[in-house]
Amino acid sequence: MRSRFLRLAALTSFSLLSGCGLGQGLGLTGNANEAQLGLGKAPPSVFGYAVADEPQAALVGRQILNEGGNAADAAAAEGLALAVTLPSRAGLGGGGACLIKMPNANGDMQPPVALLFPAGSPASTSGSRPAAVPAFARGLLALQARYGQLPLSAIIVPAERLAASAQLSPALETDLKVVGNALLADPAAAAIFAPNGQLLPAGATIHQPNLAATLEILRTQGVSGLYAGGFATQFTQAADAAGAGLTMTDMSLGLPRYSAPVSGMQDGYATAALPTASAQGKTLPASAGFMALDKNGGVVTCASSMNNLFGTGRYAAGTGVLLAASPRTVPAPQLAAAIAYAPGNLDFRAATTGTGQTAAATAAATALRDALAGHPNQPVPNPGRANVISCPKDVPGGEASCTASADPRGQGLAIGGR
């Protein structure tokens, strides 16, 4: 299985590097064979790491760093790419949360902050298949607007091109097999994932032209293009036809908000984590993780969810947007991520994401503890999954000590280095 994953990573890189794909617009460079699932060893043009639960999204984040972007730019681009390549767990119809630790304009390290943008509850309880208020694009663009340094278009173009043509990864194939043919009851989903009547396998090419058009609106008109005006009207009407019960009033709700993370100490390092809540005795929704570390020691680590695997299982027809499940009908997901840093100079030490439904928060915390103890590749207990960036000699200054890993059970990718 591992060799199959590596072949897909290489195929993905070739796809991004050639023709009219991502490479043409962003100048992708590097040897795809040096990017390994679960290992992430590759000599990039600049220092930095990108890790995501789907390989193509990690490759996008790595390239954003190479193009002069910082961790906020890279993480936002990774998240939008995940909305294309792993719609089971991330999407414009869903939500997420991020831990952000970036230097200020003077280059001085700052303590972490949390940015929360979960998919929200609509005002109405109507709808045969209630959907959440979309928050993912709002959250990622808020992150990039406040902390990023590249033009907005540079962050969206990679996802837009992947929507036109991308590889179906083993991670997405696994989730498709879980939902089986139930997803194909929706004509829009069937057209994407089973154009010939059978679910596409890993390695197949998927086309999402309606999603590409929606991302173009986001690129050219910004957040207001998605949440107000003609597109928002089209979206809510299409969502309502799919049983979502969303209104134009709902589209003005669910604004991202900054908050203090959950703080602590571990092995002499300060720690910060996303706040999480558990619904006792209930099965929690699936999630995905993505993160980036840049050459200045800035780090952003995020989690996303559709509040159910593939959300409601229905698309807003003509928009390419898969609708997340309403929080009124499902428990809140554990959006789990953590950061460790030096308490004095605030230099970066380690970052993690955690998934695995009820085990997500434990996975992130356990992986952070193991990284601080010198075991960044230690698997966390099932059903948890954890991705890690670890710099034992701290960053800035200790770049040569850094490693990154994507949990091989999660079929993601870690890529980066000096």
384-395, pLDDT tens digit by residue?
999 999 999 999
Nearest to 47 by CA among 66, 60, 69, 63: 66
Q: What is the pLDDT of residues 96-137, one digit of tens each?
A: 999 999 999 999 999 999 999 999 999 877 788 999 999 999
Residue 239 pLDDT > 80: yes
Is the pLDDT confidence value at 42 over 50?
Answer: no
Q: In the structure, what pLDDT confidence band is assigned to residue 180 with cuts at 50, 70 and 90?
A: confident
Q: How many Cα atoms sit within 13 Å of 76 on the Cβ side?
A: 29
List the beta bridge partners of residue 416.
49
Torsion angle, alpha carbons of 185, 190, 194, 198, to 10: 20
Other CB atoms within 10 A of residue 303 CB: 31
**CA dihedral over 207, 208, 210, 212, signed as positive or negative:** negative
The three-point CA angle 331-333-337 to 5° equals 155
Percent of the chain with pLDDT over 70: 89
For tokens 């959440």, the residue is: 132
Cα–Cα distance measured from residue 343 to residue 147, given in angstroms and rounded to the nearest whole number: 22
> How far apart are alpha carbons 140 and 159 in whole angstroms?
13
What pLDDT, on a 0 to 100 scale, did the predictor assign at position 44?
Answer: 63
Q: What is the token pair recorded at 84? A: 């294309």
Radius of gyration from C-alpha coordinates of the chain: 19
Least confident of 90-104, 265-279, 339-353: 265-279
In this structure, the number of other CB atoms found within 10 A of the CB of residue 136 comes to 28
Q: Which range has highest mean pLDDT (30-39, 43-52, 62-71)?
A: 62-71
Element spanning 61, H or E: helix 55-66
Q: Is the dihedral of CA 27, 30, 31, 32 positive or negative?
A: negative
Q: For residue range 304-336, what is the model confidence (pLDDT) as tens digits?
A: 999 999 999 999 999 999 999 999 999 999 999
Q: What is the mean pLDDT of residues 162-174?
A: 97
pTM: 0.91
Which element (helix H / strand E) includes 237?
A: helix 229-241
Burial environment of residue 264 by CB neighbours within 10 A (0 to 12, 13 to 18, 19 or more): middle
Distance CA 88, CA 301 (A): 19
DSSP state of 378: P
Confidence of residue 25 (pLDDT cuts 50, 70, 90): very low
Q: Could you tell me the pLDDT band of residue 277, with boundaries at 50, 70 and 90? A: confident
Element (H, E) at 273: strand 269-273
pLDDT given for residue 367 in this prediction: 98
Can the peptide bond before residue 275 be classed as cis, meaning omega within 30 degrees of 0?
A: no
